A and B are shown apart, each in its own frame.
Chain A
Amino acid sequence: MAKHRGRGIASINYPIGMNLGGDPSQALVHSNPSGKFTVSLSSIDLGQGMKSVTRQICAETLGVPVEDVYVDTADSDTGPHCMGSFASRGTHRVGNAVMAAAKEARGVMMEAAAEELEVNAADLDTDGRGNIHVKGAPHRSISTKDVAIAAQFKQGRTISGRGIFLVPLSEVNPETGEMSPATCYAHACLVAEVEVDDETGEVAMVRMDSAYELGRALNPRLVEQQLVGGAWMGVSHALFETPEPYYPDPAHGPRDFVEYLMPGPGDICPHDIAVLERPAADGPFGAKGPGEMCANPVLPAVANAIFNAVGVRMDELPITPEKVLRAIKAQGGARPQARR
Chain B
Amino acid sequence: MLELRKDIFADERDDNLKEIGKGTQRQDMLGHVTGTSTYFDDHKLQGMLHLKVLRSPHAHARLRRVDTMEAERSPGVRRIIRGADVPVNLNTLLSLINFGKDDEPSLAVDKVRYKGEPIVAIVADSPREAYEAIAKVRVDYEPLPAVFDVEEALKPGAPVVNDVYPKNTFVYHDVYDHQKLRFGDVERGFAEADHVLEQRYQMSPIEHAPTETNGSIAAPDTNGRYVVYTSTQALFFSLDTCAKILDVPSNTFHFIGGTVGGGFGGKVDTLTEPLAILGAMLTGRPVRYQLGREEEMQFGSPRGAERIYIKDGVMRDGRIVARKIRAYFDSGAYTRLSSYAVVKCVAHLPGPYTIPNVHGDVYCVFTNRTPATAMRGFGVTAMDFALECQMDKLAHLVGMDPMEFRILNAYRDGDMKAHRREAKNTALIECVQVAAEKAKWPLREEVKRMSSRKDGGGSRAAISPTPLEPALQRAAVSQQRTTYDRAPAAAAVQPPPSAPTPPAPPPRPPASSPSHGATRFSSVFGTRRR
Q: Which residues of A contact B (CB under 8 A)?
A: 7-15, 19-20, 22, 42-47, 49, 51-52, 55-57, 59-60, 63, 65-66, 70-71, 73-77, 79, 81-87, 128, 168-182, 184-185, 187-191, 193, 209-213, 216-224, 227, 230, 233, 237, 241-245, 247-250, 253-257, 260, 262, 270-281, 285-286, 291-293, 295-297, 299-301, 303-304, 307, 313, 315-318, 340
Docked Cα-Cα span, A63 to B18, in Å, equals: 8
Check B389 against A52 for contact (C-beta < 8 Å): no
Nearest CB on A from B351, distance (A)? 7
Check A189 against B431 for contact (C-beta < 8 Å): yes
Check B343 against A172 for contact (C-beta < 8 Å): yes
Tell me which residues across on chain A come within 8 A of B378, comparing CB atoms: 86-87, 292
Docked Cα-Cα span, A213 to B525, in Å, equals: 33
Docked Cα-Cα span, A270 to B9, in Å, equals: 27
- Of the candidate stretches B84-92, B137-145, B228-236, the one touching chain A is B228-236
Check B438 against A272 for contact (C-beta < 8 Å): yes
Check A256 against B297 for contact (C-beta < 8 Å): yes
Per-position contact with A for B513-529: 1 when CB-CB < 8 Å, else 0? 00000000111111111
Nearest CB on A from B36, distance (A)? 15
Docked Cα-Cα span, A273 to B202, in Å, equals: 29
Check A220 against B4 for contact (C-beta < 8 Å): yes
Q: Which residues of B contact A (CB under 8 A)?
A: 1-6, 8-9, 12-13, 17-28, 59, 97, 115, 148-150, 172-173, 175-176, 179-183, 199-207, 209, 232-237, 239, 253-260, 262-265, 268, 293-294, 297-298, 302, 305, 330, 340, 343-344, 346-348, 351-352, 360, 367, 369, 374, 376-382, 384-389, 391-393, 401-403, 406, 410-411, 418-421, 424-428, 430-439, 441, 466, 468-469, 471, 521-530
10 smallest beta-carbon distances between A and B, as pairs: A84-B234, A300-B388, A181-B347, A74-B257, A177-B181, A221-B23, A211-B434, A19-B344, A174-B173, A10-B388
Check B19 against A56 for contact (C-beta < 8 Å): yes
Docked Cα-Cα span, A188 to B433, in Å, equals: 11
Q: Given A60-B20, A83-B237: A73 and B183 within 8 A (CB)?
A: no
Check A128 against B18 for contact (C-beta < 8 Å): yes
**A-B contacts at CB below 8 angstroms, number:** 450
Docked Cα-Cα span, A187 to B232, in Å, equals: 28
Check A44 against B384 for contact (C-beta < 8 Å): no
Q: Given A178-B420, A280-B425: A243 and B435 within 8 A (CB)?
A: no
Tell me which residues across on chain A come within 8 A of B384, comparing CB atoms: 10, 12, 296-297, 299-300
Check B380 against A189 for contact (C-beta < 8 Å): no
Check B426 against A185 for contact (C-beta < 8 Å): yes
Given A46-B262, A172-B525, A256-B293, 11 more pairs with CB closer than 8 A? A20-B524, A86-B378, A171-B522, A171-B526, A177-B346, A189-B431, A218-B21, A256-B297, A293-B380, A297-B384, A300-B385
Check A316 against B234 for contact (C-beta < 8 Å): no
Check A303 against B297 for contact (C-beta < 8 Å): no
Docked Cα-Cα span, A39 to B163, in Å, equals: 46
Nearest CB on A from B225, distance (A)? 9
What residue of chain B has the Cβ atom nearest to residue A21's Cβ?
B530
What residue of chain B has the Cβ atom nearest to residue A215's Cβ?
B425
Question: Which of A15, A66, A293 interacts with B344 by CB under 8 Å?
Answer: A15
Question: Which of A233, A255, A262 interacts with B298 by CB under 8 Å?
Answer: A255
Check B435 against A190 for contact (C-beta < 8 Å): yes
Q: Given A11-B406, A250-B115, A297-B388: A216 and B28 within 8 A (CB)?
A: no
Check B24 against A52 for contact (C-beta < 8 Å): yes
Check B385 against A340 for contact (C-beta < 8 Å): no
Check A301 against B388 for contact (C-beta < 8 Å): yes
Docked Cα-Cα span, A218 to B148, in Å, equals: 44
Q: Given A52-B27, A177-B419, A247-B305: A211 and B257 within 8 A (CB)?
A: no
Check B435 against A191 for contact (C-beta < 8 Å): yes
Check B265 against A274 for contact (C-beta < 8 Å): no
Tell me which residues across on chain A come within 8 A of B377, comparing CB atoms: 14, 292-293, 295-296
Nearest CB on A from B64, distance (A)? 24
Check B232 against A44 for contact (C-beta < 8 Å): yes
Check B466 against A176 for contact (C-beta < 8 Å): yes
Nearest CB on B from A312, distance (A)? 12
Docked Cα-Cα span, A43 to B233, in Å, equals: 8
Check B425 against A278 for contact (C-beta < 8 Å): yes
Check B200 against A315 for contact (C-beta < 8 Å): yes
Check A210 against B435 for contact (C-beta < 8 Å): yes
